Every structure is written in structure tokens, then in C-alpha cells.
Amino acid sequence: MQLPIKVDEQRPEPLYHQIESQLRGLILGGQLAEGTSLPSIRELAVSLKCSAITIRRVYQDLEAEGYIRTRQGSGTFVADVGNADRREHRLSRVAEEMERAVDAAWQLGCTEEEVEELFRKAVLRRASSRKGGENSDA
């Protein structure tokens, strides 16, 4: 199985952290369902061009957090992740993106009222396009 994980050696964030956060996101975001078989440590290390020690650490951390489980002789699988964890992850990601948008707005000199107005308009636009069955970014 090829996982959609990208590592960037130019980022200050350690490789194991980049891989771990992306794999956690795939699990919590529902792209990897419960019971999905994950690549072996060696396979994932080769595909991401990193050491097996790095992947072993990622798998150990995620197993300790309850996101994956390893069965001796069978492999590593996605564990059952509760809806509360998925919701918390989803809301956390949205909050991070909103904070980035607010930071950008303030750097551009927007007021708090302008930011709130822009947010309200964006929500209304998206809500109306969802109701209309459109997937456009209009």
C-alpha cells in the first residue's frame, strides 16, 4: 500500500514528526479506515527514503496513542478510532487554518470587524453552494 505521505528535508520539523503527523491525520481524517493494513516498517522507510528507525519510532508513537496496532506475524493495522477523536482532530485542524487566516488578515491591516465580516461572508457562500449541490469555490 502506498501512503500519500510527503516529507520535506528542508523543513525544520524532524522527518519522524512530519510522517507521524501526516499518518495520524490520515487515520483521524478517515482516509485510512479501521483494520487497514499499513506497510511494513522497511517498506515505508524505502518508499519515503528514510531509515527504518524513523518509521519504527512513528509506529511506536502511534501505537502508544492507540491509533494503530501491531499483531506479531500479521503486520500493523489501523486501530478503531472513536468519533470524539475524529471530531477533535477535525476541529483542531480547522482552528489552525482559521488562525493562519486571521494572522494573514492582521498582517494586511484588517480590523477585527473586517475579519469577522469576511468570515461570515465565506461561510454564507460555502453554505449556499453546498445546499445547491455545487462543489465550486465561488
The more confidently predicted of residues 107 and 93 is 107
User: Across all residues in the chain, what is the average pLDDT?
Assistant: 91
Alpha-carbon distance of 37 to 41, in angstroms, equals 12
- Number of structural domains found in the chain: 2
The boundaries of the domain holding residue 121 are 83-131
> pTM for this structure?
0.68
pLDDT, tens digit (0-9, with 9 covering 90-100), for 102-112: 999 999 999 99
pLDDT, tens digit (0-9, with 9 covering 90-100), for 110-136: 999 999 999 999 999 988 888 875 554
**CATH code, domain carrying 74:** 1.10.10.10
CB 59 within 8 A of CB 27: no
- When pLDDT is averaged across residues 17-21 and rounded to a whole number, the result is 96
Please determine, for residue 1, whether its predicted confidence score (pLDDT) is greater than 80. Answer: no
Alpha-carbon distance of 79 to 16, in angstroms, equals 20
Residue 28 lies in a domain: yes
Q: Given CA atoms 129, 133, 135, 138 in this order, what sign does their dihedral have?
A: negative
Residue 8 lies in a domain: no
Residue 137 lies in a domain: no
Residue 6 lies in a domain: no
Number of Cβ within 10 Å of residue 119's Cβ equals: 14
